[in-house]
Amino acid sequence: MSDYNFAYLDEQTKRMIRRAILKGLAIPGYQVPFASREMPMPYGWGTGGVQVSAAILTPDDTFKAIDQGADDTTNAVSIRRFFQKTAGVAVTEATKEASVIQTRHRIPEQDLRDDQILVYQVPIPEPLRFLEPSEVETRKMHSLEEYGLMHVKLYEDISQHGDIATAYAYPVKVEGRYVMDPSPIPKFDNPKLEMAGIQLFGAGREQRIYAIPPYTQVVSLDFDDYPFQPTKADHACDLCGAEDSYLDELIVDDAGGRMFMCSDTDYCTSRRKNGHVGAQGVPFKEDAA
């Protein structure tokens, strides 16, 4: 791939993206328009995250890619390979060893440090989009801090279902100003949005970048009498026994039998390496994992 620049994008494009990132960090939760490029993977498959990662990667970085919390899902493999090929950076599956982590739909279970950057792939950056389809209108609503519609929606959920019927991409308010879509992470992950690491959000098709600087206040929207509740399946991981991690549900036989396992594969593997065994797990062996 010597025909392409380090991390694929040319330096002018990276500069443009870095400016958008800096602006995003300066105005937490604000969606900064940027001139998204066509990438060699399809829109909707992480092009926003890939462009952000390409703009921030340096040759000394160690890169990790996860999709649904897992390093070995096909699209995570594809993105990790892309940067191995175009940037030649070191890659890892270990959360604690990575300096840049690109993610789709999850925040790693292990707390991130202040020398780590989490890059999110974002499909629809506008939290108000499904209440108001017009971008012209929603930008106006943000600038006027006009978020009544969102509260009405949450209220209607409660009156109809007895609960706020949003389970992922649960809207948050950042530093008391912008209502932001945290990308389609399960609401279980929302409390982790206040962290030591830098969080960058890239939406390629929609041409938006936004950011949460370290230790920024991020509040999940709720009501006093219906407080926000992060939820997960009421089980322990069947492989490593963890009770504090977000779980995937698997159908394991024709009778519809279920089992649960950590969605964060690195978290699960590390626990098993440390001797934890779940109800259906086996003690960790290098080759079996």
Positions annotated as catalytic residues are 29, 237, 240, 262, 268
Among the listed residues 1, 33, 94, 244, the single contact to another protein using CB under 8 A: 33
Q: Does 105 bind another protein (CB under 8 A)?
A: yes
Dihedral (Cα; 197, 11, 135, 124), 10-degree rounding = -50
Footprint of another protein on 150-179 (CB under 8 A)? 161-163, 165, 167-169
Query: In the chain, count of helices (H) and strands (E)?
Result: 6, 12
Backbone angles phi, psi at 53, to 5 degrees: -60, -45
- Of the two residues 162 and 275, which places its CB atom closer to another protein in the complex? 162
Instruction: By CB under 8 A, tell whether 30 contacts another protein.
Output: no
Burial of 274 from C-beta contacts in 10 A (0-12 / 13-18 / 19+): exposed
Cβ 114 to another protein shortest distance, Å: 26
Say whether residue 134 binds another protein (CB under 8 A): yes
Q: Are 231 and 246 in contact (CB under 8 A)?
A: no
**From 14, 142, 173, 187, residue interacting with another protein (rule: CB under 8 A):** 187
**Judged by CB under 8 A, how many residues of this single chain contact another protein?**
68
User: Counting contacts by CB under 8 A, is residue 284 touching another protein?
Assistant: no
Q: According to CB under 8 A, which one of 36, 99, 220, 245 is a site residue for another protein?
A: 36
CA gap 4, 85 in Å, rounded: 10
- Exactly one of 146, 248, 273, 276 binds another protein (CB under 8 A); that residue is 248
Residues between 253 and 282 with contacts to another protein, criterion CB under 8 A: 259, 261, 263, 265, 268, 280-282
Member of 128, 239, 245, 271 binding another protein (CB under 8 A) = 239
As beta bridge partners, residue 179 has 173
Residue 86 sits in the site that holds another protein (CB under 8 A): no
Using the rule CB under 8 A, give the single segment among 22-30, 89-97, 220-228, 229-237 that binds another protein.
229-237
The structure tokens listed for 222 are 């709720």
How many angstroms separate the first and last alpha carbons of the chain? 32
Residue 226 touching another protein (CB under 8 A)? no
Starting from the edge strand earliest in sequence, which strands make up the sheet with 208-212, in order?
32-33, 208-212, 198-203, 117-121, 100-104, 62-67, 90-91
Q: Which residue from 38, 91, 67, 41 is spatially nearest to 183, judged by alpha carbons?
A: 67
Cα–Cα distance measured from residue 266 to residue 248, given in angstroms and rounded to the nearest whole number: 14
Q: Which of 6, 23, 44, 177 binds another protein (CB under 8 A)?
A: 44
Stretch of 27-35, 148-156, 210-218, 220-228 contacting another protein, by CB under 8 A: 27-35
Do 103 and 64 contact (CB within 8 A), yes or no? no
The tokens for 194 are 């206040």
Q: List residues binding another protein (CB under 8 A).
A: 4, 8, 10, 33-40, 42-45, 47, 67-69, 72-78, 104-106, 123, 134-136, 161-163, 165, 167-169, 184-188, 205, 207, 231-233, 238-239, 246-250, 252, 259, 261, 263, 265, 268, 280-282, 288-289
